[in-house]
């Protein structure tokens, strides 16, 4: 008889957009674009499918797997990891969060465990330093999150089906560290009340699909006015997207990716066309919100 094939798993993690304008460091949304990571026991670590710079022992998927093994009390094993990530590297759609979440979930699956989402979320938050991207990557949907006593607490909503999210990634990056440095150390009390009220309204509008309410409430005062100058093409893409019918135009995460929210496919296609016409080198893709967070399958049998 032949030997049984080595166990292998595949982990899929959705792309995410954080902040959604007025939800700075609080709101995140899973999108229907996923990165896939295949894990198979091997004699030594092998990482394929990504930039050669990230194929060593410091690979984020691998280090997250090791961190999870330590937390779970399981022995790590050398792995062959293949990454298939269509998420742009310009930043703003949660590409690093997909790596972190995939590594943590792989440690559980290879130990024969089901996904423990609270454990995954808290450890991913610890590794990433903040939960706004990892929370929707783990949970799916629109997620509000905060950290209390080392635990990440979430509230989740389903986004209305009429809304489309036109993502625009330029051929350059904005480093998260630079985006953080651009922020003021203090904000006026009036900006806090402005932001809280509109953040609550934004959640309601996204869940109901009321485009007019999104347009009315999605005017950030805490981070976008300071970060927009770091993205050279923000203003002209902003103006063109609104002219083409977008409900609102935002920085996705800390950039450089930008996001136009549209009501329906027709307006989304018009915005997509206008953005490509203005910047042919732009990566542009219209996405829907995804209700699905991280998942695990076996590549050999599909389940």
Strands 79-84 and 46-48: parallel
Q: What percent of the chain has pLDDT over 70?
A: 96
Cβ neighbors of 261 (< 8 A, separation 6 or more) are: 163, 164, 165, 166, 211, 214, 218, 246, 247, 248, 249, 250
Q: Is the dihedral of CA 187, 192, 198, 201 positive or negative?
A: positive
Rounded to an integer, what distance in angstroms lies between the CA atom of residue 294 and that of residue 275? 30
DSSP 8-state code for residue 103: H
Cβ neighbors of 181 (< 8 A, separation 6 or more) are: none
Rounded to an integer, what distance in angstroms lies between the CA atom of residue 197 and that of residue 137? 26
Rounded to an integer, what distance in angstroms lies between the CA atom of residue 8 and that of residue 81? 10
Name the 3-class secondary structure at 111: coil
Average pLDDT over residues 86-114: 94
Q: Please tell me the class of the 9-157+290-297 domain.
A: alpha beta
Rounded to an integer, what distance in angstroms lies between the CA atom of residue 264 and that of residue 250? 18
Record the pTM: 0.93
- Both tokens of residue 100? 């972190």
Q: What digits encode the pLDDT tens for the residues 130-164?
A: 999 999 999 999 999 999 988 899 999 999 999 99
Per-residue confidence band for 300, with pLDDT thresholds at 50, 70 and 90: low
Tell me if 286 sits within 8 A of 246, measured CB to CB. Answer: no
pLDDT of residue 4: 39
Burial 126-157 (b: 16+ CB within 10 A, else e): bbbebbbbbbbbbbbbbbbbbeeeeebebebb
Please report, for residues 30, 67, 167, the alpha-carbon distance to residue 286 in angstroms, rounded to integers and kept in the order given: 13, 35, 6
Domain-by-domain residue ranges, the chain? 9-157+290-297, 163-287
Q: What digits encode the pLDDT tens for the residues 43-66?
A: 999 999 988 888 889 999 999 999
Average pLDDT score over the chain: 93
Beta bridge partners of 157: 142
CATH architecture of 163-287: 2-Layer Sandwich (3.30)
Rounded to an integer, what distance in angstroms lies between the CA atom of residue 247 and that of residue 267? 9
Q: Is the dihedral of CA 93, 68, 294, 206 positive or negative?
A: negative
- Closest by CA position to 299, among listed 10, 1, 2, 7: 10
Out of 121-125, 176-180, 254-258, pick the least confident: 176-180
The per-type count for the chain, helices as H runs and strands as E runs, is 10, 11
CATH topology agreement for domains 9-157+290-297 and 163-287: no
**Residue 162 φ then ψ, to 5°:** -80, -15
């Amino acid at each position: 008889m032949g030997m049984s094939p080595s166990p292998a798993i595949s982990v899929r993690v959705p792309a995410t957009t954080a902040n959604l304008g007025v939800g700075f460091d609080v709101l995140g949304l899973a999108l229907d674009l996923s990165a896939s990571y295949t894990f198979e026991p091997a004699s030594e670590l092998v990482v394929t499918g990504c930039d050669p710079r990230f194929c060593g022992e410091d690979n984020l998927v691998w280090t997250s797997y090791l961190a999870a093994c330590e937390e779970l009390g399981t022995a790590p094993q050398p792995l062959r990891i293949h990454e298939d990530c269509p998420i742009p590297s310009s930043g703003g759609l949660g590409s690093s969060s997909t790596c972190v979440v995939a590594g943590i979930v792989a440690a559980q699956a290879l130990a024969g465990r089901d996904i423990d989402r609270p454990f995954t979320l808290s450890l991913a938050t610890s590794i990433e330093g903040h939960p706004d991207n990892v929370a929707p990557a783990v949970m799916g949907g629109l997620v509000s999150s905060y950290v209390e006593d080392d635990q990440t607490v979430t509230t989740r909503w389903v986004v209305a089906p009429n809304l489309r999210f036109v993502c625009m990634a330029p051929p350059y990056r904005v480093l998260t560290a630079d985006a953080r440095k651009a922020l003021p150390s203090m904000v006026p009390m009036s900006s806090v009340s402005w932001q809280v009220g509109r953040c609550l309204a934004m959640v309601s509008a996204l869940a109901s699909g009321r485009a007019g309410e999104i347009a009315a409430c999605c005017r950030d005062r805490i981070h976008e006015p300071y970060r927009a100058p770091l993205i050279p093409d923000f203003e002209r893409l902003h103006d063109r997207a609104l002219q083409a019918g977008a409900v609102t135009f935002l920085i996705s995460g800390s950039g450089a990716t930008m996001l136009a929210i549209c009501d329906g496919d027709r307006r989304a296609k018009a915005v997509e066309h206008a953005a490509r016409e203005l910047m042919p080198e732009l990566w542009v893709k219209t996405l829907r919100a995804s209700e699905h967070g991280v998942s695990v399958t076996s590549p050999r049998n599909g389940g």
